[in-house]
Amino acid sequence: MTKTIDTQPISGQRPGTSGLRAKTRAFMEPGYLENFIQAGFNALGGVEGKSLVLGGDGRFYNERAIQIIMKMAAGNKAARVVVGREGILSTPAASAEIRVRGCDAGIILSASHNPGGENEDFGVKFNISNGGPAPESVTDAIYEFTTTITTYQTHDADDVDLSALGESSMGPTVIEVVDPVENYAKLMRTLFDYDAIRAMFAGGFKMRFDAMHAVTGPYASAILEGELGAAAGTVFNGKPLPDFGGGHPDPNPVHAHQLMKEMFSADAPELGAASDGDGDRNMIVGRHCYVTPSDSLAALAANAHLAPGYADGLAGVARSMPTSRAVDRVAQALGISAFETPTGWKFFGNLLDTNKATLCGEESAGTSSNHVREKDGLWAVLLWLNILAARGLSVAELMQDHWSRFGRDYYSRHDYEGVDKAAAEALMAALRDKLPELPGTPINGMTVTAADDFSYTDPVDGSTSAKQGVRIVFGDMARVVFRLSGTGTVGATLRVYMEKFEDDPSQQNEDTQQMLSVLADAAQSLAGIKEHLSRDAPDVMT
Ligand code: G1P
Ligand code: ZN
């Protein structure tokens, strides 16, 4: 039976860079999840007669939230809800399901790489029919609905058994529980040369994949060990846990320290990789060679044609503004376009839909292509495997070759986490005020050539997104970018991104922080980080 429940707006339900993120306990408050879901349904123009994909990364509250959302979908007269078994779907797999099944929308439950648990974070993201995150026009509408909502619709029904595959009905709605891996694995087979990768593993190639007790465990085990013949035990931390084993499921050298240690040990395997909470991020590390996400994007762009799915070459590439310019250099050499978009995957959607870009990436360890409309951690790992198999080089050799051809963009991001929001906003405001005077100014031996607050006009729909981060550019040689995170749940996080180009091999140095120290000093003097935030050093440097 359908029921209309009275509710009232809850403040602060504004979707950020990647959906709505908040403390799990906030989501457990009566009406919090329900209001946001109803607002999302409303913003999609209602879901009556529509089909939805639903799943999450398995974190604490995932299954409860899924039971609530299925009942609300039935209360809103959806035709069908496709839900992953046990409520599991990685973000790229959800995107693939929407596209393969021609669904109208999707709801993904995840706070990505943020820790999970009753005292940690939870999140909800709406995706649209192209399989990608809802664009700003939709997320703005969702927020508007959350400020005026007075009722939501649900359906009185028993919980659905999410362990059994198959269809059941809930009022007007068919609930279909599906294998979360099957369609995704099928899609991967169409893109990569599995025979070549299988032969490489059969020849003794060793790798380690850290699933960080998050959603990619079942995907990586099925594909790497099951289909490609990687040795048993290649995938570790493979069992998804509601609190990710107490860890921080963010695949970077800081949080994937166990993997890093192994990859820099004497008997390190050839390839190490990791993925995050919901499976959309990736980390790539070769034997004694960490590959920054910006370099990974550039190397993938230069070599993607070696994989069958990209054999015709790339239409173009796109990167988020703070991502290093390494991929632009590849695009220039290939004679294809390079787009610079604001941070957040949703800005790639139109470029992929209109075939302006084939490959996209962000410095925050997100890389993907037009096969889905989300970033895709395991896909990036498979593309690397395909390229290594085709070229017969080690990761370190491949990167050396890349840098000798295109030059090297040293890159690092410094994060100041959980700082006072007002102080962080004051820092950004003061920096913005300075921008007009900066061009022409010498700073630490470099001269500012341009300084602005990044504004993006989508080349497809003409929509404009302003105030996307401060860029201070020192010609082609260096850049410093400042922006505030849009995904945090406590206070504010200042991100400072630095990059320096070096094409003279005799000047290239393995110590990235040392290579960038001039820029770190410039960032400090330009923004007055110590003074504004009362912090002496960043919390995380990646
Ligand atoms: C962060 C990353 C951004 C990514 C987003 C979602 O957002 O910087 O590249 O798209 O997470 O994974 P931020 O916290 O910087 O707003
Ligand atoms: Zn993620």
Residue 427 sits in a domain of what CATH number? 3.30.310.50
CA-nearest residue, atom 10 of ligand 1: 344
CA-nearest residue, atom 2 of ligand 1: 364
Out of 297, 343, 374, give the residue to mutate to test ligand 1, the one with the largest number of ligand atoms within 8 Å of its CB: 343
Q: Are 239 and 315 found together in one domain? A: yes
Instruction: Report how far residue 391's alpha carbon sits from residue 200's, in angstroms, rounded to the nearest whole number.
Output: 11
Query: Residue 528 is part of which domain span?
Result: 408-541
| Ligand number nearest to the C-alpha of 481 | 1
Residue 176 dihedral angles phi and psi, to the nearest 5°: -120, 115
CA-nearest residue, atom 15 of ligand 1: 485
Q: Report pLDDT for 508.
A: 73
Q: Report pLDDT for 383.
A: 98
Query: What's the chain's length in residues?
Result: 542
Cβ count within 10 A of residue 179: 14
**Which CA distances in Å does 383 have to 291, 304, 380?**
14, 7, 5
The number of folded domains in the chain is: 3
Q: Report pLDDT for 507.
A: 78
Q: Report pLDDT for 489.
A: 73
Q: Report pLDDT for 467.
A: 95
Q: Are 191 and 169 found together in one domain? A: no
Out of 362, 374, 465, 496, give the residue to mutate to test ligand 1, the one with the largest number of ligand atoms within 8 Å of its CB: 362
Out of 278, 297, 485, give the residue to mutate to test ligand 1, the one with the largest number of ligand atoms within 8 Å of its CB: 485
8 Å CB contact between 86 and 55: no
Q: Are 170 and 193 found together in one domain? A: no
Report the half-sphere exposure of 189 (CA within 13 A, side-chain side): 11
Q: Are 514 and 535 found together in one domain? A: yes
- At which of 146, 179, 212 does a domain end? 179
CA-nearest residue, atom 5 of ligand 1: 344
8 Å CB contact between 256 and 212: yes
CA 113–ligand 2 middle distance (angstroms): 5
Helix (H/G/I), strand (E/B), else coil: 235? strand
The model's pLDDT over 176-200, given as tens digits with 9 standing for 90+, comes to 999 999 999 999 999 999 999 999 9
CA-nearest residue, atom 13 of ligand 1: 485
Neighbours of ion ligand 2 (CB under 5 A): 112, 276, 278, 280-281
The 3-state DSSP composition of the chain as helix, strand, coil percent (nearest 5) reads 35, 25, 35
CA 16–ligand 1 middle distance (angstroms): 9
Instruction: Report how far residue 111's alpha carbon sits from residue 490's, in angstroms, rounded to the nearest whole number.
Output: 13
| Ligand number nearest to the C-alpha of 108 | 2
Instruction: Report how far residue 421's alpha carbon sits from residue 489's, in angstroms, rounded to the nearest whole number.
Output: 11
Which tokens go with 435? 């921008």
CA 7–ligand 2 middle distance (angstroms): 31
112 is annotated as an active-site residue: yes
Out of 90, 283, 364, 413, give the residue to mutate to test ligand 1, the one with the largest number of ligand atoms within 8 Å of its CB: 364
CA 40–ligand 2 middle distance (angstroms): 20
CA 521 to chain centre: 29
β-bridge partners, 412: 498
| Ligand number nearest to the C-alpha of 365 | 1
- At which of 349, 376, 401 does a domain end? 401
**Which CA distances in Å does 121 have to 55, 91, 133, 242?**
16, 17, 19, 11
Q: What is the CATH number of the domain that holds 159?
A: 3.40.120.10
Q: Are 192 and 292 found together in one domain? A: yes
8 Å CB contact between 110 and 88: no
Instruction: Report how far residue 7's alpha carbon sits from residue 32's, in angstroms, rounded to the nearest whole number.
Output: 9
8 Å CB contact between 308 and 192: yes
**Residue (of 479, 484, 480, 491) closest to 468 by Cα position:** 484
Instruction: Report how far residue 39's alpha carbon sits from residue 326's, in angstroms, rounded to the nearest whole number.
Output: 40
CA 445–ligand 1 middle distance (angstroms): 32
Q: Are 362 and 333 found together in one domain? A: yes
- At which of 132, 153, 179 does a domain end? 179
CA 489–ligand 1 middle distance (angstroms): 13
Please give the DSSP secondary-structure letter assigned to residue 79. Answer: S
Q: Are 174 and 217 found together in one domain? A: no
CA 343–ligand 1 middle distance (angstroms): 6
Checking DSSP bridges between strand 450-453 and strand 470-474, what pairing results, if any? antiparallel
Q: Are 260 and 353 found together in one domain? A: yes
Which atom of ligand 1 approaches the CA of 493 most closely? 14
8 Å CB contact between 293 and 232: no
Residues of the chain with pLDDT under 50: none
Q: Are 217 and 148 found together in one domain? A: no
Q: Are 128 and 248 found together in one domain? A: no
Helix (H/G/I), strand (E/B), else coil: 415? strand
8 Å CB contact between 212 and 275: yes
CA 542 to chain centre: 15
CA 278–ligand 2 middle distance (angstroms): 5
CA 196–ligand 1 middle distance (angstroms): 34
Q: Are 156 and 245 found together in one domain? A: no
If you search the block for the tokens 């899924």, which residue do you land on?
66
Q: Report pLDDT for 247.
A: 87
Q: Report pLDDT for 89.
A: 98
Q: Are 489 and 412 found together in one domain? A: yes
Catalytic residue, candidates 90, 95, 110, 112: 112
Residues with CB under 6 A from ligand 1: 17-18, 112, 320, 343-345, 362, 364, 366, 485-487, 495
